[in-house]
């Protein structure tokens, strides 16, 4: 960062959201930089998909965890290698990227061919910045905001920064090399989190199947997946230990009422991986219905392969979860912390995923979930002692996981800010770009493969069939 300096001279771009740009840069509308490609009839080419986190990639047709809505391939649009493709309904969220190979995209997408003076990688970086996505949102049209579309006729009217072609390539090379380093960092940190979670789960699994006394007499639980348990423990269906989905948000007399909305993308296994979104009741999606309170445990009943389970340890008064969760409120005599630990154990989580139904988005019903048997000590004091022991034994692991996740979040913020500053000319990186044919460029090409976690997040973000054409 010490090598990043501004350009020597700047000028007013004439575009309010851009402000000043380097003296030798121009501003051109996209229609002068790209041509629309609207060719069909190339049915033998691979299918490409445009996603929020990973741009354009070849779709994995063997992945059965997502919808595979493939209609007549001859009607799909041809995207040549180096073209930019974007999802009309989600361009404002960053669903845009450069085609890595010749392929086919949904008829609902727009494909644009860069003119000779446009480097597609540079513009892909520009289009995915927050400042540019706001402009896309303003140029999009539709009846409902979340369904607004950016048509080619509107896309070509949006102004964009325009450095020389050589400078575009230098900027793109620099950002590719930097992105490779960031991805390596994130990949290593996520591997560390996986190891820490495995250690944490081992502690939890032992405690909720054996308790604290290693010499306690055992008995068969009568449940194949649970095995032996302490002989004084009690086995009951989950619905006898908890109340499921008792509190539902249906309406409010205050149209300005706001709450924190927790969707599946915010929850990992036993922890939050994203912040709840503050929204108004009138703007809330129809699936925002589960009211949460301290002591609840929430379990993902939709897309259960994500293993989204979380215990609400804090006092909350305005936290609402998606109907993709089941909210479990413990009955009297059940210690909430112990229940949360039990339901986050591998035996129970594996039971839920194994009994989920569906190919695209495996799910489990509330009724089926309630029939799963759970073993617990009948004494609340013993439950409390086990919960306190587990929380104490996993405290250091949790702190390490949180610190590592914070590092990932910070590097994401750094990357996003760096990209925005570089592609809008706030800093000059021409002297930092890797030389053509250098090892840095070769390494960056290898390291820019999508992270598995980002691919999974893309699958989770695809609420609509990705090949649906209106």
pLDDT (tens digit per residue) in 360-386: 678 999 899 999 999 999 999 999 999
> Would the pLDDT of 452 be above 90?
no
Residue 403: band (very low, low, confident or very high) from pLDDT cuts 50, 70, 90: very high
User: Considering only 198-207, 261-270, 431-440, which range has the smallest mean pLDDT?
Assistant: 431-440
- Please tell me the pTM assigned to this model: 0.79
Q: Are 26 and 163 found together in one domain? A: yes
Q: Are 220 and 114 found together in one domain? A: no
Count: domains in the chain = 2
Q: Are 120 and 20 found together in one domain? A: yes
Residue 441: band (very low, low, confident or very high) from pLDDT cuts 50, 70, 90: low
> Would the pLDDT of 250 be above 80?
no
DSSP structural state of residue 414: H
Q: Are 179 and 304 found together in one domain? A: no
Q: Which residue would you say has higher pLDDT here, 421 or 466?
A: 421
pLDDT (tens digit per residue) in 304-319: 888 888 999 988 888 8
Residue 459: band (very low, low, confident or very high) from pLDDT cuts 50, 70, 90: very low
Does residue 199 fall inside a structural domain? no
Does residue 201 fall inside a structural domain? no
Domain end, chosen from 376, 391, 426, is at 376
> Which regions of 52-139 does DSSP assign to beta strands (E)?
55-58, 77-79, 84-87, 96-98, 103-105, 109-114
User: Between the CA atoms of 203, 207, 209 and 212, what dihedral angle is there, to the nearest 10 degrees?
Assistant: 140
Does residue 381 fall inside a structural domain? no
Q: How far apart are CA 451 and CA 443, in angstroms?
A: 15
Helix (H) or strand (E) holding 29: strand 26-29
pLDDT attached to residue 435: 76
Does residue 125 fall inside a structural domain? yes
Interval 429-451 mean pLDDT:
65
> Would the pLDDT of 411 be above 60?
yes
Residue 294: band (very low, low, confident or very high) from pLDDT cuts 50, 70, 90: very high
Q: Are 182 and 219 found together in one domain? A: no
Residues with Cβ within 8 Å of 138's Cβ and at least 6 positions away in sequence, in order, are none
The count of other CB atoms within 10 Å of the CB of residue 365 is 13
The length of the chain is 470
Q: Is the dihedral of CA 390, 395, 400, 406 positive or negative?
A: positive
Q: Domain with 28 in it: what CATH number?
A: 3.90.220.20
Q: Are 441 and 352 found together in one domain? A: no
Domain end, chosen from 376, 398, 423, is at 376
> Would the pLDDT of 454 be above 70?
no
Measured N-to-C along each axis, helices 380-423 and 165-210 cross at an angle, to the nearest 10 degrees, of 180
> Would the pLDDT of 259 be above 90?
no
pLDDT attached to residue 98: 96
Interval 74-99 mean pLDDT:
92
Q: Are 106 and 163 found together in one domain? A: yes
Domain end, chosen from 356, 376, 396, is at 376
Q: Are 362 and 417 found together in one domain? A: no
Interval 163-171 mean pLDDT:
96
> Would the pLDDT of 198 be above 60?
yes
Does residue 136 fall inside a structural domain? yes
Q: How far apart are CA 8 and CA 25, in angstroms?
A: 12
Does residue 333 fall inside a structural domain? yes
Helix (H, G, I), strand (E, B), or coil: what is residue 260?
strand
Q: How far apart are CA 379 and CA 232, in angstroms?
A: 10
> Would the pLDDT of 173 be above 90?
yes
- Take residue 83 and report the two structure tokens written for it: 């073209």
Domain that holds residue 97: 10-186+407-461
Nearest to 52 by CA among 360, 455, 449: 455
Helix (H) or strand (E) holding 239: helix 238-241
pLDDT (tens digit per residue) in 100-150: 999 999 888 999 999 999 999 999 999 999 999 999 999 998 876 667 899
Helix (H) or strand (E) holding 390: helix 380-423
> Would the pLDDT of 466 be above 60?
no
Q: Are 331 and 447 found together in one domain? A: no
Q: Are 284 and 168 found together in one domain? A: no
Does residue 200 fall inside a structural domain? no
> Would the pLDDT of 20 be above 70?
yes
> Would the pLDDT of 460 be above 50?
no
Q: How far apart are CA 214 and CA 464, in angstroms?
A: 51
Q: Which residue would you say has higher pLDDT here, 426 or 71?
A: 426
> Would the pLDDT of 456 be above 60?
no
Does residue 87 fall inside a structural domain? yes
Q: Which residue would you say has higher pLDDT here, 423 or 323?
A: 423
Q: Are 365 and 433 found together in one domain? A: no
Q: Are 23 and 172 found together in one domain? A: yes
> Would the pLDDT of 444 be above 70?
no
Mean pLDDT taken over the chain: 86
Q: Is 205 left (phi over 0), alpha (psi -120 to 50) or beta?
A: alpha
Burial status of residue 141 (CB atoms within 10 A of its CB: 0-12, 13-18, 19 or more): exposed
């Amino acid at each position: 960062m010490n090598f990043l300096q501004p350009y020597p001279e700047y000028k007013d771009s004439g575009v309010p959201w851009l402000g000043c740009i380097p003296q030798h840069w121009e501003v051109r509308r996209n229609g002068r930089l790209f041509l629309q490609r609207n060719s069909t009839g190339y049915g033998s080419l691979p299918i490409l998909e445009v996603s929020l986190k990973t741009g354009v990639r070849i779709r994995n047709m063997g992945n059965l965890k997502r919808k595979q809505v493939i209609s007549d391939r001859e009607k799909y649009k041809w995207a040549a290698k180096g073209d930019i493709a974007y999802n009309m309904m989600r361009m404002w969220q960053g669903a845009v990227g450069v085609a890595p190979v010749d392929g086919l995209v949904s008829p609902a997408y727009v494909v644009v061919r860069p003119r000779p003076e446009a480097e597609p990688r540079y513009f892909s970086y520009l289009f995915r910045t927050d400042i540019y996505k706001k402009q896309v949102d303003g140029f999009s049209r539709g009846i409902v905001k979340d369904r607004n579309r950016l048509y080619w006729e509107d896309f070509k009217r949006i102004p964009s920064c325009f450095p020389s072609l050589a400078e575009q390539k230098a900027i793109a090379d620099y950002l590719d090399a930097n992105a490779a380093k960031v991805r390596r960092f994130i990949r290593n940190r996520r591997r560390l989190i996986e190891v820490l979670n495995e250690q944490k789960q081992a502690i939890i699994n032992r405690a909720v199947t054996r308790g604290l006394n290693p010499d306690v007499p055992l008995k068969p639980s009568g449940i194949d997946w649970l095995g032996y348990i302490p002989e004084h423990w009690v086995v009951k269906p989950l619905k006898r230990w908890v109340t499921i989905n008792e509190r539902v948000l249906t309406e409010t007399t205050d149209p300005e009422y706001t709450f924190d909305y927790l969707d599946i993308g915010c929850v990992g296994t036993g922890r939050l991986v994203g912040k709840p979104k503050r929204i108004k009741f009138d703007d809330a999606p129809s699936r925002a219905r589960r009211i949460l309170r301290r002591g609840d445990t929430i379990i993902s009943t939709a897309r259960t392969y994500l293993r989204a389970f979380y215990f609400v340890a804090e006092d909350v008064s305005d936290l609402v979860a998606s109907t993709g969760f089941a909210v479990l409120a413990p009955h009297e005599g059940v210690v909430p912390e112990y229940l949360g630990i039990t339901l986050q154990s591998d035996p129970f989580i594996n039971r839920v995923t194994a009994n989920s139904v569906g190919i695209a988005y495996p799910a489990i019903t509330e009724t089926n979930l309630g029939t799963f048997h759970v073993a617990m000590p009948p004494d609340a004091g013993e439950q409390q002692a086990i919960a306190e022991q587990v929380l104490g034994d996993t405290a250091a692991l949790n702190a390490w996981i949180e610190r590592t996740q914070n590092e990932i979040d910070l590097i994401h913020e750094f990357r996003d800010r760096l990209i925005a500053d570089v592609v809008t000319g706030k800093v000059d990186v021409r002297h930092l770009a890797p030389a053509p044919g250098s090892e840095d460029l070769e390494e960056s090409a290898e390291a820019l493969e999508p992270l598995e976690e980002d691919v999974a997040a893309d699958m989770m973000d695809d609420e609509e069939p990705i090949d649906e054409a209106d």
